[in-house]
Amino acid sequence: MASLINMLSVSPTILSPSITRTSSLQTRPNLSPCSVSFNKRRLTIRAAETDANEAVKSEAPDKAPAKNGSSFNQLLGIKGAAQESNIWKIRLQLTKPVTWPPLVWGVVCGAAASGNFHWNVEDVAKSILCMMMSGPFLTGYTQTLNDWYDREIDAINEPYRPIPSGAISENEVINQIWVLLLGGLTTAGILDIWAGHDFPILFYLALGGSLLSYIYSAPPLKLKQNGWIGNFALGASYISLPWWAGQALFGTLTPDVIVLTLLYSIAGLGIAIVNDFKSVEGDRALGLQSLPVAFGSETAKWICVGAIDITQLSVAGYLLGAGKPYYALALLALIAPQVFFQFKYFLKDPVKYDVKYQASAQPFLVLGLLVTALATSH
C-alpha cells in the first residue's frame, strides 16, 4: 500500500509505490535512528566526494533556480518545486502528495468490488481511514524511504531536492520514515478491529506492502535496479495492494480478484516506466538497468505504452468473455483517449511531456479500474 509503494511521479505501498521513481545508489541499509552514522550533521550530499557530484553542484542553480520554483509544486513533491526552509513543508514534500490519489482510488475500487459498501457514516469513515493508511501514511513512508536511498543519485539528477540539498537533516528523515511506517501499521490494526476480522488481513497487507517498499528501494535486493521486476513491484503496489485493502475491509478478498488485479498491475508497470526517462543520465552513469537504459529510450517508450494498452485490452476481453459486454465496452471507450494522448505527448518526447501525458491519460486509466471493480462486484 505504501509500496502501495511509488508510482506516479510513481514509485508501490499500501498500502505503496511512485509514481515518482528515481534510481538510487546502494547505500546504508540501516534505518535505525540510533545508528552512529546518523549524527546531527546535515546532509550536504557529499558534493565534494566525487567528480560527478562536483560537476552537478555547479549545475544545480540552472536545473532548479529557487526564484523560478513553484510553491504549489513543492507541496505536491514534484519537479519544479521552490526551495523551502519550513521543515513541515519539506516533510510534506518528501511524502509526495501527488502520488497519493492512485492509492486512494485503489481503496475506492476495492470497496466497490466488495459489493458491501454502503453510503452510511460508518462505512464512509472506515474508507477514509483506509485511504489515510494507504496514502499519507504508507505511500508517504515509501516515498520518503525512496528519497533516502536515492540521495546520492539525486545529487546527480536533482541536486536541489530536500535531502541532497541539505534542507533536512539525516536524523529528521529517519524519524519521519519510522513515524509514517508505524502510523500506517497501527491504522491497519485499528481497521481490522473495526471490521471485526478474526484474521488481521489489513495489518498483514500493510506489513507486506511496507516490506515490498523497503526491498524496492534498499540494498541488498533493491528491486528498482531491475527495470522489469522493480516496475512491476511498483505497479502492483499502486493497483493491487490498495484494491485488496478496500475489498478486504468491506468484504472478502477472493483468489480471482487477486489474479485479476495482479494482471492489471502490468499496466502499472508501464506507468512506472514513464518516470524512468527523466533519470536516464544518472541511471546510466551508475549502471542501473532501468528499461530506457537497457533498451534505449525509443524502444522503452513502446514497451511502456504496450504494457498499458495491451493489459487493459486483455481485461476488456476477459469481461466480455465473462458475459459483461457493457463493462467491456465502457473499458474500451476509456482506453481510446489514453492511446490518443500517448501519440500526442508521450511518444513524441517522454521527458518533455511526461507530466502532460500523465495528467491527460491517467484519469482514464483509473476510471477503467473502477469499471473493472464494478464488473467484478456483480
Q: How many CA atoms lie within 13 A of 137 on its CB side?
A: 24
Task: Give the pLDDT of residue 73.
Answer: 73
Q: Based on the domain organization, do 258 and 195 belong to the same domain? A: no
φ and ψ at residue 316, rounded to 5 degrees: -60, -40
Q: Based on the domain organization, do 194 and 94 belong to the same domain? A: yes
67 in a structural domain = no
Q: What is the DSSP string of 250-306?
A: HS---HHHHHHHHHHHHHHHHHHHHTTGGGHHHHHHHT-B-HHHHH-HHHHHHHHHH
pLDDT, average across residues 317-327: 94
4 in a structural domain = no
59 in a structural domain = no
pLDDT, average across residues 335-358: 94
Task: Give the pLDDT of residue 157.
Answer: 74
Give the number of other CB atoms < 10 A from CB of residue 67. Answer: 7
Percent of the chain with pLDDT over 90: 59
pLDDT, average across residues 228-245: 92
Give the number of other CB atoms < 10 A from CB of residue 189. Answer: 16
188 in a structural domain = yes
Task: Give the pLDDT of residue 227.
Answer: 83
Percent of the chain with pLDDT over 70: 80
Task: Give the pLDDT of residue 357.
Answer: 93
CATH of residue 218: 1.10.357.140
Residues in the chain: 378
Residue ending a domain, choose from 251, 268, 284? 251
309 in a structural domain = yes
- pLDDT class for 68, splitting at 50, 70, 90? low
Residue type, 255: P
Task: Give the pLDDT of residue 156.
Answer: 78
Q: Based on the domain organization, do 313 and 187 belong to the same domain? A: no
- pLDDT class for 304, splitting at 50, 70, 90? very high
In total, how many domains does the chain have?
2
56-66 residue pLDDT tens? 333 333 444 44
Task: Give the pLDDT of residue 15.
Answer: 43
274-288 residue pLDDT tens? 988 887 877 787 777
Instruction: Provide the mean pLDDT of the chain.
Output: 82
- pLDDT class for 48, splitting at 50, 70, 90? very low
Q: Based on the domain organization, do 236 and 313 belong to the same domain? A: no
Kindly tell me if the per-residue pLDDT of 13 is higher than 60. Answer: no
If phi over 0 gives left and psi between -120 and 50 gives alpha, with beta otherwise, what is residue 115? left
Q: Based on the domain organization, do 124 and 265 belong to the same domain? A: no
Query: Which of 16-25, 69-78, 241-250 reaches the highest mean pLDDT?
Result: 241-250
Exposed (0-12), middle (13-18) or buried (19+): which is 316, by Cβ within 10 Å?
buried
Q: Which residue did the predictor score with more confidence, 86 or 64? A: 86
CA distance 153 to 166: 14
Residues 6+ away with beta carbon under 8 Å from 99: 6, 7, 8, 9, 10, 11, 17, 18, 19, 20, 77, 139, 143
Residue ending a domain, choose from 198, 222, 251? 251
- pLDDT class for 74, splitting at 50, 70, 90? confident
296 in a structural domain = yes
Residues forming beta bridges with residue 166, ordered by sequence position: none
Q: Based on the domain organization, do 104 and 239 belong to the same domain? A: yes
Residue ending a domain, choose from 225, 251, 277? 251
Q: Based on the domain organization, do 79 and 195 belong to the same domain? A: yes
Q: Based on the domain organization, do 208 and 280 belong to the same domain? A: no
128-144 residue pLDDT tens? 999 999 999 999 999 99
Q: Based on the domain organization, do 244 and 158 belong to the same domain? A: yes
CATH of residue 308: 1.20.120
Task: Give the pLDDT of residue 82.
Answer: 78
Task: Give the pLDDT of residue 67.
Answer: 53
162-215 residue pLDDT tens? 998 899 999 999 999 999 999 999 999 999 999 999 999 999 999 999 999 999
Residue 167 sits in which domain range? 74-251
Q: Based on the domain organization, do 187 and 262 belong to the same domain? A: no
CA distance 268 to 166: 32
Q: Based on the domain organization, do 131 and 216 belong to the same domain? A: yes
Q: Based on the domain organization, do 178 and 265 belong to the same domain? A: no
62 in a structural domain = no
303 in a structural domain = yes
Task: Give the pLDDT of residue 371.
Answer: 96
